[in-house]
Structure 1
Amino acid sequence: MSCQGCKVSDLTYQFDLQGQYNEALTDKVKEHLQRNDVPVTLTKENKLKVPEHHIREILDFFEDHMETDQIFFRTSQGEWSPLSEISEVLETSWIDEIILEELVHCHYQPILRSDGELFGYELLARFTDGEGNMVYPGELFQAARLRGRLYALDRVCRMAAVRHAARLDKVKAFINFIPTSIYSPEFCLRSTMQLASQLNLDPQQLVFEVVETDKVDDVEHLKKILTYYKDKGFMYALDDVGEGFSTIELLTGIEPHYMKLDRKFVSDVHEDPEKQRVAHLFLEKARSMGTIPLAEGIEQQQEYQWLKDAGYVLFQGYYFGRPQSEPVPRDALNF
């Protein structure tokens, strides 16, 4: 078995023709398209499947002959959506080149200890299109979700981050991943593990960081992924943890090595009693789990000082250094 979701193959669309009128025409649609050399198939569930490069023919037929408000579509990894939204997916085809050509590199953002020593870097993906123009990560990941390319994009980013981690000397490399982009750890993460081994990276140097921690719905799936990392000797972190700790409570037994306090509780924490309350609760929870707390998003000296005095031991944010294309040495950082 291989990780098919990580490959950028020709996209196939499925169409669900609902309503009595549309359903009665399903076979006729198939026959018409086949007569015009369109490779259309009918699934066992009576859904039409058409490759993307023939999508215009079937859309034209729908517009001319069918009740389009009763037609729904999806890509191989997507959810069913109204036909009226298909143009949004078709307009994201540009993302395929970025993934296929691996037009991704990483910037390094420093993470420092309370004694001022450099602890590591978070490796943040940055992208360009085929003409060298910068593409913002938010735009790219949104396009990947629409187009069903999230698995493939997340894999390309992980692999790039591991390669960039090989440039670091003895400090930690925090590598982001999206849990929902990994459907089977033993297959989806195999290439990542192999690359780390080829580069002679010490597993303890790599910290795989769960992004969108607050959006995790399938906690059992997340536990399976983190157990896989743990069994392979790697470390892991939870990002953007805030008040409530619902995800943390459910992770009993495989507690994270690091937890990042959500930046919304860091901003102006030195003058906001409610944020201070949450920061203290977070710290107590981390200590009870044997987890190292990390405060991210620090932009002011006062924020850093308050968090340090409170007992936080790791810090990250623009106050110390912005993400850079090269790892900035310790003596060049603001501290």
Structure 2
Amino acid sequence: MNKPAVLFDESHCEQCACGNGLDFSFSFAFQPIVDAVNKTVFAYEALVRGPEGQGAMTVLGKVNEHNQYAFDQICRVKAVKLASRLDMQAMLSINFMPNAVYQAEYCIRTTLAAAQTYQFDTRKIIFEVIEGEKMTSVEHLTSIIEAYQTMGFHTAIDDFGAGYSRYNLMISSPPDLLKLDMGLVRDIHQEPNKQAVVSGIITMMCQLGGRIVAEGVETPEEYFWLRSQGITLYQGYLFARPGFECLPEPVFPD
């Protein structure tokens, strides 16, 4: 497979930050992932948006197998640049497309160059794989997770439980963070079957040494049940909605 030509200097970062290589533009909204124990922001997830704040699908609907590599690389650079411009002190969570990463060590170079160019600490970057993206090879995803962890990045699996649960990955190379799918979170305080599934996931992550993020939390009842089970990291409208090109301050339920 021929490798795309990637230059890792400041001019290349600026080109990526401007979206060069794509025929559409986009930006980001940020939503906090909060630490309920310390009542602080643990991280901000970069959520792709249209250039004027349009919904994610107005952008993602234009991504295909021909431009996904450029989109993945440009996403990383633009997210790092915007986080730096906003003086983000918390960690930055960036979604990545496993099928656009053919060799982790090579594809990461643009991210490293962007972090240097925009003076953003690479130790504050979380790479979050979208759990619903069907992978042709679990071994390929495992190699990416292992490479990123070796390089000092944090890793996360998004939407765990949404349909393509990667238990093989949990066995071979567990991520640092596992984000519960909002379908499991919704009304969990009154659904015993969901409670049983989530309790099992909590036990699994505890034994693997990772942390759980409860995603899509919208009501105090959902939060208080999850909190009673020892989960400390949360994301959802209960705390803050995504803010377009800004860092929203979360609120915490009493």
The match for 1:3 is: 4
Taking the TM superposition and a 5 Å limit, the aligned residue runs for 1:127-146 are: 127-128=50-51, 135-145=54-64
Q: Which region of structure 1 is more displaced relative to structure 2, 200-209 or 299-308? A: 200-209
CA distance in 1, matches of 2:118, 2:24: 19
The match for 1:329 is: 249
| Deviation at residue 189 of structure 1 after TM alignment | 2.2
Q: SS at 1:144's partner residue?
A: coil
CA distance in 2, matches of 1:266, 1:217: 28
The match for 2:25 is: 103
**Greater helix proportion:** 1
Aligned equivalent of 1:164, options 70, 73, 82 = 82
Q: For the structure 1 residues 319 and 215, does the alpha-carbon distance in structure 2 shift closer, same or farther, using more than 3 Å as the test?
A: same
Q: SS at 1:215's partner residue?
A: coil
| Deviation at residue 306 of structure 1 after TM alignment | 0.5
Q: How well do the aligned residues superpose, as a CA RMSD in angstroms?
A: 2.6
Q: SS at 2:243's partner residue?
A: coil
Contiguous gaps of at least 5 residues in structure 2: 8-18
Q: For the structure 1 residues 150 and 214, does the alpha-carbon distance in structure 2 shift closer, same or farther, using more than 3 Å as the test?
A: closer
CA distance in 1, matches of 2:167, 2:83: 27
| Deviation at residue 179 of structure 1 after TM alignment | 0.5
Q: SS at 2:50's partner residue?
A: strand
The one-character-per-residue Cα deviations of 1:249-299 (angstroms, maximum 9, x if unpaired) are 334343211000111000000111111111111111110110111100011
Say whether 1:183 aligns with 2:184.
no
The match for 1:119 is: 42
| Deviation at residue 163 of structure 1 after TM alignment | 1.4
| Deviation at residue 181 of structure 1 after TM alignment | 1.5
Say whether 1:241 aligns with 2:122.
no
Q: For the structure 1 residues 179 and 214, does the alpha-carbon distance in structure 2 shift closer, same or farther, using more than 3 Å as the test?
A: closer
The match for 1:209 is: 128
Which amino acid letter does the alignment assign opposite residue 256 of structure 1? P
8 Å Cα contact 2:47-2:56 kept in structure 1: no
Taking the TM superposition and a 5 Å limit, the aligned residue runs for 1:140-289 are: 140-145=59-64, 148-166=66-84, 167-213=86-132, 215-242=134-161, 246-289=165-208
| Deviation at residue 243 of structure 1 after TM alignment | 7.9
Q: Which region of structure 1 is more displaced relative to structure 2, 208-217 or 310-319? A: 208-217
| Deviation at residue 227 of structure 1 after TM alignment | 2.1
| Deviation at residue 228 of structure 1 after TM alignment | 2.1
The match for 2:16 is: none
CA distance in 2, matches of 1:306, 1:188: 40
Say whether 1:306 aligns with 2:225.
yes
CA distance in 1, matches of 2:135, 2:91: 25
Q: SS at 1:3's partner residue?
A: coil
Which amino acid letter does the alignment assign opposite residue 154 of structure 1? D
| Deviation at residue 215 of structure 1 after TM alignment | 2.5
8 Å Cα contact 1:98-1:104 kept in structure 2: no
Larger RCO, structures 1/2 (Cα 8 Å, 6+ apart)? 2
Q: Which region of structure 1 is more displaced relative to structure 2, 249-258 or 295-304? A: 249-258
8 Å Cα contact 2:33-2:235 kept in structure 1: yes
| Deviation at residue 168 of structure 1 after TM alignment | 4.0
8 Å Cα contact 1:229-1:236 kept in structure 2: yes
Which amino acid letter does the alignment assign opposite residue 196 of structure 1? A
CA distance in 2, matches of 1:136, 1:321: 17
The one-character-per-residue Cα deviations of 1:71-95 (angstroms, maximum 9, x if unpaired) are xxxxxxxxxxxxxxxxxxxxxxxxx
TM-score, structure 1 as length reference = 0.64
TM-score, structure 2 as length reference = 0.83
8 Å Cα contact 1:294-1:312 kept in structure 2: yes
8 Å Cα contact 1:243-1:278 kept in structure 2: no
Q: For the structure 1 residues 207 and 310, does the alpha-carbon distance in structure 2 shift closer, same or farther, using more than 3 Å as the test?
A: same
Q: SS at 2:227's partner residue?
A: helix
Q: For the structure 1 residues 196 and 163, does the alpha-carbon distance in structure 2 shift closer, same or farther, using more than 3 Å as the test?
A: same
The match for 1:70 is: none
CA distance in 2, matches of 1:313, 1:334: 12
